[in-house]
A = this chain, B = another copy of it.
Amino acid sequence: MSGNSFGKALVLTTFGESHGKAVGGVLDGFPSNIEIDIDFIQSELNRRKPLSAIFSTSREEEDCVEILSGLFENKSTGAPIAFLVYNADQRPIDYEYLKEAYRPSHADFTYQQKYGHRDYRGGGRASARETLARVIGGAFSKILLKRNDITIQSWISQIGPFQMRNPACTSPPNPSPQGEGNIQHPASNFQDTASCILHPASVSLPAEVLDFLDQLKRDGDTAGGIISCSVTGVPAGLGEPVFDKLQADLAKAMLSINTVKGFEYGSGFGSASMKGSEHNDCFVSEKGKIKTLTNFSGGIQGGISNGEEIFFRVAFKPVSSLMKEQETVTTDGTPIRIPAKGRHDVCVVPRALPIVEAMAALVLADHLLRMSYNL
């Protein structure tokens, strides 16, 4: 009822506050007898770290995953896999001034209203550190998906007002007003785009984007963005037809991430402007396999995967923690100015890539296990 668990067959429960002892989770329902590469788990965690001075001024945290249970001789036993990451860099003194103040667009006010008592240091459960547990749970899920030849790849398609295009992409214009021309693209283009964004040091971002981010940093301001995600290799049959449609569970997964404001899949919001005759994906038979000619359906029909690429997009607002003084009120309504303090991400979208992928992996692994139970 308190919503700290996610999934039905594969259930991730997370715990921990940003300034408590540790954040962690329990992954229950993971099949037995599966070899686990701990280095891969840690490498996924490392993707959450601040990427470069372009995007962030944050501390370099050393987040090391510790597995407490569920593995024996490097293989899963079917028992719950508990893990944690200790919070090394605790500086509660940073937050004392926020004991009474409600930061704009943070969860301080709503937590106080709901719980009457809150850990005001760093946002408690609302901290992005909670997503550490999601990334670890997602990494285990990816191991399961990989054994079934399912691949998840996300990339940044917008930073602030700038839409990002993969120059290698030669496909026709995108029918979706928000889209990046990907609906009919081969997956390879996605991967090209993605790889350049995943390692921003190795690619030249357009000068205008660099200027934009640089100016924001100087202003103590922040930018939002859009992440796109593609899942390939999904067999037909994942998802349940009514409330647990695959897209419904993906939508919930994405909207459960801090700062996410929107979700669309396949043709998305752009579909509202299309005609049915344009939008319908025709079935054809190729080499004995039934597939669709186009993929406005985004790989899901009637809530169930159809074997085509699953494609969705997630909108992130600019983060609310600014390096500027802001006006707000205290718990008793008194106006107050809160100073520009603490660490600061100009744009969290790059660090959100592994989180989007982790949540997608949890949804797909859950439905993969649920499908195996159906058949």
Contact = CB atoms under 8 A, between A and B. Distances in A.
A140 interface: no
A28 B8 contact: no
Nearest to A327: B282
B374 A31 contact: yes
B271 A14 contact: no
A15 interface: yes
A225 B69 CA distance: 32
A103 to B, nearest CB: 9
Interface stretch (A42-50, A109-117, A196-204): A109-117
Contacts of A277: 219, 221-222, 322, 324
A110 B72 contact: no
Interface in A158-196: 158, 160-161, 177-178
A319 B276 contact: yes
Contacts of A296: 105, 317
Interface in A221-271: 221-226, 236-237, 239-245, 247-256, 258, 261-269, 271
B282 A104 contact: yes
Contact of A262 (B161, B269, B284, B302): B269
Contact of A241 (B126, B254, B327): B126
Contacts of A81: 15
Given A3-B242, A316-B272, A255 B261 contact: no
Given A237-B110, A269-B315, A328-B282, A274 B335 contact: no
Contacts of A328: 282-283
Contacts of A271: 224, 261-262, 315-318
Nearest to A20: B69
A276 B322 contact: yes
Interface string A349-375: 000000000000000000001111111
B221 A275 contact: yes
Interface in A300-319: 300-307, 315-319
Given A16-B69, A115-B374, 17 more contacts: A15-B80, A16-B82, A20-B72, A21-B66, A77-B124, A110-B237, A114-B237, A125-B242, A130-B242, A221-B277, A222-B277, A224-B273, A252-B252, A263-B264, A276-B322, A370-B373, A373-B373
16 contacts: A2-B28, A4-B242, A78-B114, A105-B280, A107-B301, A123-B302, A224-B272, A243-B252, A248-B253, A261-B267, A263-B263, A272-B315, A276-B322, A280-B320, A284-B329, A289-B333
Q: Closest 8 interchain pairs by CB?
A: A107-B302, A3-B244, A3-B240, A285-B333, A262-B264, A373-B373, A222-B276, A252-B252
